[in-house]
């Protein structure tokens, strides 16, 4: 077979790290394949997805704004993607396209590897978009006792919780307005995750310093710039703060495994993202 390929489908994609990560991994395992980012407008999505059925295509990653709309163009989707209502990875199985979502598994793997203790703890999730669903699922799977979702649009937070609560019986799910985070908290929370896209635009939801203690970890899902307004405020309040690069690397490594059936070279992904490689 000729050289294989995979791609990212989204708009915009110019700043994506995915080509760098996956091309490094393909080269490291000796796979004759390359990965490119494709800028795809919503009215060209069906055409772009049809192109993935070619024999030499391994599959694709999907990013905003297509993660939800792509579902109806696929032949099958995993239980995970159905639960999240979104696909971030497409696998070409001999011309049939299968959708999966590696965001929640990627976040859970990274949090475990980075020593973030979730079991029996409370977590605050800011935002209620597609990424927030994956975050709530990951936190519940890691055994969070309570997850509170705060969003500007409260109906969206309520819909997220109504959808996920029946599947996550062991975790208590609550909602509230985003402004709640800017007011003093009764006690510090161990985990605060910013899933709003405000960080992408150099802004951040305001979190009152009383939500944090030195034992807290604040996670920003965005990773550009490396330290966002939300992360800086958390550090000033004494908390550990991390951006979304670790999650990006782990969800990418899981996508590699979906496409190739091989174990991903995680150290290669970490090095390409300039993250420390653990011994
Ligand atoms: P969505 O568009 O689905 O959701 C956006 C969320 O951000 C909504 O809750 C929205 O609130 C909120 N929001 C947007 N602007 C503001 C603002 N100015 N102030 C407060 N809230 C705001 O996006 P996604 O959930 O798909 O992505 C969210 C973030 O996560 C992005 O930065 C994305 O890059 C990042 N991400 C990172 C990944 C990784 O691997 N590291 C993986 C996936 C996503 P409302 O509902 O009220 O409009």
pLDDT at residue 222, as a whole number = 92
Residue matched to tokens 């993935």: 52
pLDDT at residue 1, as a whole number = 65
For the Cβ of 242 lying below 6 angstroms from any atom of ligand 1, the answer is: no
The residue whose CA has the least distance to atom 33 of ligand 1 is: 222
Question: Residues 59, 91: contact at Cβ < 8 Å?
Answer: yes
Q: Check 4, 22, 66, 67 and give the catalytic one.
A: 67
67 is an active site residue: yes
pLDDT at residue 203, as a whole number = 83
| Nearest atom (ligand 1) to Cα of 133 | 25
Question: Residues 197, 132: contact at Cβ < 8 Å?
Answer: no
For the Cβ of 153 lying below 6 angstroms from any atom of ligand 1, the answer is: yes
pLDDT at residue 279, as a whole number = 63
The residue whose CA has the least distance to atom 16 of ligand 1 is: 198
Residues of the chain with pLDDT under 70: 1, 279
pLDDT in tens, 157-210: 999 999 999 999 999 999 999 999 999 999 999 999 999 998 777 788 999 999
Q: What is the 3-state secondary structure (H, E, C) of the chain?
A: CCCEEEEEEECCCCCCCHHHHHHHHHHHHCCCEEEEEEECCHHHHHHHHHHHHCCCEEEEEECCCCCCHHHHHCCEECHHHHHHCCCCEEEEECCEEEEECCHHHHHHHHHHHCCCCCCCCEEEEECCCHHHHHHHHHHHHCCCCEEEEEECCHHHHHHHHHHHHHHCCCCEEEEEEHHHHHCCCCCCCCEEEECCHHHHHCCCCCCCHHHCCCCCEEEECCCCCCCCHHHHHHHHCCCEEECCHHHHHHHHHHHHHHHHCCCCCHHHHHHHCCCCCCC
pLDDT at residue 200, as a whole number = 75
| Nearest atom (ligand 1) to Cα of 64 | 26
pLDDT at residue 83, as a whole number = 95
pLDDT in tens, 19-34: 999 999 999 999 999 9
Residue 86 CA to ligand 1 centre (angstroms) = 14
The residue whose CA has the least distance to atom 37 of ligand 1 is: 221
For the Cβ of 63 lying below 6 angstroms from any atom of ligand 1, the answer is: no
Q: How far apart are CA 97 and CA 99, in angstroms?
A: 7
Cα torsion angle, 29, 31, 37, 43, sign: negative
For the Cβ of 251 lying below 6 angstroms from any atom of ligand 1, the answer is: yes
Considering the entire predicted model, what is its pTM?
0.96
For the Cβ of 198 lying below 6 angstroms from any atom of ligand 1, the answer is: yes
For the Cβ of 182 lying below 6 angstroms from any atom of ligand 1, the answer is: no
């Amino acid at each position: 077979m000729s050289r294989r390929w995979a791609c990212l489908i989204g708009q915009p994609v110019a700043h994506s790290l995915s080509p760098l990560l996956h091309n490094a991994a393909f080269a490291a395992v000796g796979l004759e394949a390359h990965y490119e980012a494709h800028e795809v407008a919503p009215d060209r999505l069906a055409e772009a997805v049809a192109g993935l059925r070619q024999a030499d295509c391994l599959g694709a990653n999907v990013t905003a704004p297509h993660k939800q709309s792509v579902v109806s163009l696929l032949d099958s989707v995993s239980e995970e993607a159905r639960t999240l209502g979104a696909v971030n990875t497409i696998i070409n199985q001999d011309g049939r396209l299968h959708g999966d979502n590696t965001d929640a598994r990627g976040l859970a793997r990274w949090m475990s590897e980075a020593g973030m203790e979730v079991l029996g703890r409370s977590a605050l999730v800011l935002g209620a978009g597609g990424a927030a669903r994956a975050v709530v699922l990951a936190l519940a799977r890691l055994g969070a006792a309570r997850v509170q979702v705060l969003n500007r649009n409260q109906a969206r937070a309520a819909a997220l919780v109504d959808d996920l609560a029946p599947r996550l019986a062991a975790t208590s799910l609550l909602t509230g307005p985003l402004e709640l985070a800017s007011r003093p908290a009764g006690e510090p929370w161990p985990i605060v995750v910013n899933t709003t896209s405000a960080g992408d635009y150099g802004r951040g939801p305001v979190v009152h310093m009383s939500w944090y203690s030195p034992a807290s970890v604040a996670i920003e899902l965005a990773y550009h710039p490396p330290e966002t307004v939300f992360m800086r405020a958390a550090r000033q309040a004494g908390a550990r703060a991390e951006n979304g690069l670790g999650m990006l690397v782990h969800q990418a490594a899981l996508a590699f495994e979906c496409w190739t059936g091989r174990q991903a070279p995680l150290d290669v992904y970490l090095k390409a993202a300039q993250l420390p490689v653990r011994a």
